[in-house]
Structure 1
C-alpha cells in the first residue's frame, strides 16, 4: 500500500537514459587520468606522439625502411602505431572498468555493461582525438598525405578498438578472482603487443614460419588490412579482417558469460583479506 511504484516508461526514454549514463561514465573515466580534462587529452596526444617518434627512429636505425610500403614512410609508421595504441588502450580501459564489487554498482541505474561501454568509448575518444590531431599537423605542416580508402582505414581503426574491448572483457571478468595476477597479465599482454602486433613488418614480406608467429593476433590482421586501405601499392594477401571480427565476438561472448558468473559469486569481502 505504501510501496512506491515507478511510472511506466517508454523504450525511447529508457534508451536515452542509458546513453546519458554511458556518456557520464565515459567523462568520469576521462577525468580519472587527470584533474584538468584539457591537459589530460594533451597528455594522451603527447604519449601517442612519443610512441610514433620512437618507432620511426627505431625503424630508421635498424634499416627497416626498405621493407616498408612504397609511399609515405611516416604514414606507414602511423598506421601501425595508431592501431596499436587504440587496441591496448581499449584493453586497459575495459579491464580497469568498475566491476561487480565496485562502489559505483550500488547506484540503481548502474551496471557493469554501462561501465564497460563508458570506459571503451572514453578510450576511443582519446585515441581518435590523438590520431586526428597528429595527422592534421603532419598534413598541414610537413607534407600532404593521401589515403587511398579512408572509410576502410577507419573501419580497421574501429576494429582494432573492438578487438581490444573483447580481450579487455575477458580480463575484466577474471579480475575479481585475482586482481593482482590479472593486472600483471594485462600489462604483459600490452607490452608483448609491441612486437606481437607486427606493426613494424608487412605480412606479405614475411616467410610462412615467421608469419605464423603473428597470425594469432587480431591486431596483426587489422594493421595489415589498414595498410591495404591506406596505400594504393599494397594489397594484403595473408590477413583477414573477418578473423579479427570473429576473434572479438568470441572474446566478448566469453567475457559476458564469465562476467555473469562472476557477478553471481563476487563479494566485496574478497578484497578485505588482501
Structure 2
C-alpha cells in the first residue's frame, strides 16, 4: 500500500511539473500571455454579439445574446483546444519521455488538465463579469452545467488522445483533422439551439455529440431550452467511448510514442 501511495505521489509531481511546463510554453513568462487566455474567448463572444445585434437577431433562448454565446463559445473552445493541443503533446515532449517516470499518458494529462482548467476558470470569470455589469445569468440547473462540462472534457480528451496516437504514425494528421473539424464550429450549436432548427436539419445535427453537450449545458442556464432533443444516453456513451478508445490507443502505442521522431 505504501508503495502505491509513493508511486501516486511521484506521478502527481510529474504531472504537476508538466502542467507548469505547458503553461510556460503556451503563455510565456509575461502576465499578458495569461491575460490573452481570458481575452480570446471574450473577443469571440463580443464579435458574435455585434454581428447578431447589427443584423437584428435575438437570442434563440429569449435571454441575453452575450450569455447565449458564452454558453456556446466556451464549451466549443474546451473541445477544440483539448482535441487540437493534445495532438502535438507527444512530439513536443519527446525529450522528457526519455525519463522512466514520464510516460506518454502523463504528458497528455498535463496538457489536458491545463487546457480544461484554464477554460473552466475563464468560463467562471466571464459569467461573473456578466453578472457584475447587470446581465441576467441565471443558473437554472447547476448539475446539468457541471455534468455537460465534464462530458465534453472526456469526449475531447478521447479525440485528442486518438489524434496524438495517429500523429505518431502519420505526421500530417493535424492538417487533415483541422480540415474535417473546422466545419463543426458551424454545426455544433454555438449559434443556435435544437428547437430553433427545422426538423430535417435537427434530425441530423442531434447525432453530433458536441451539439448535444452544448445543448445540455445551456439547459442548465436557460429554462426555455427544451430538453426533448438532448439524447442523454447517447451523449454520455460518446464521451466515455471516445475516452476509452483514446486511452487504449495511447496504451497500445506507448513504446512507439517515446521515440517516433
Q: TM-score, normalised by structure 1?
A: 0.86
Q: Using a 3 Å threshold, how does the CA distance of structure 1 residues 190 and 106 change in structure 2: closer, same or farther?
A: same
SS of the residue aligned with 1:98? helix
User: Which position in structure 2 is the counterpart of 1:255?
Assistant: 246
Q: CA deviation at 1:200?
A: 1.0
Q: TM-score, normalised by structure 2?
A: 0.90
User: Which position in structure 2 is the counterpart of 1:45?
Assistant: 38
Q: Using a 3 Å threshold, how does the CA distance of structure 1 residues 175 and 15 change in structure 2: closer, same or farther?
A: same
Work out the CA distance in 2 between the residues paired with 1:236 and 1:63: 27
SS of the residue aligned with 2:89? coil
Structure 2, unmatched stretches of 5+, are none
Q: CA deviation at 1:132?
A: 1.7
User: Which position in structure 1 is the counterpart of 2:17?
Assistant: 24
User: Which position in structure 2 is the counterpart of 1:4?
Assistant: none
SS of the residue aligned with 2:228? coil
1:80 aligns with 2:39: no
Q: Using a 3 Å threshold, how does the CA distance of structure 1 residues 156 and 184 change in structure 2: closer, same or farther?
A: same
Q: Using a 3 Å threshold, how does the CA distance of structure 1 residues 137 and 152 change in structure 2: closer, same or farther?
A: same
- 1:45-64 to structure 2, matched below 5 A, reads 45-64=38-57
CA deviation profile, 1:213-272 (whole Å, cap 9, x unmatched): 42232110011111111112222211224322211222223223333343345674x64x
User: Which has the greater radius of gyration?
Assistant: 1
Aligned-residue CA RMSD in angstroms? 2.3
Q: Is the 8 A contact 2:75 2:214 kept in 1?
A: yes
Tell me the matched-pair count.
261
Work out the CA distance in 2 between the residues paired with 1:205 and 1:26: 40
CA deviation profile, 1:164-218 (whole Å, cap 9, x unmatched): 11111111110011112x1103322442222121221111232232023422321
Q: CA deviation at 1:37?
A: 5.5
Match of 2:128 among 109, 131, 136: 136
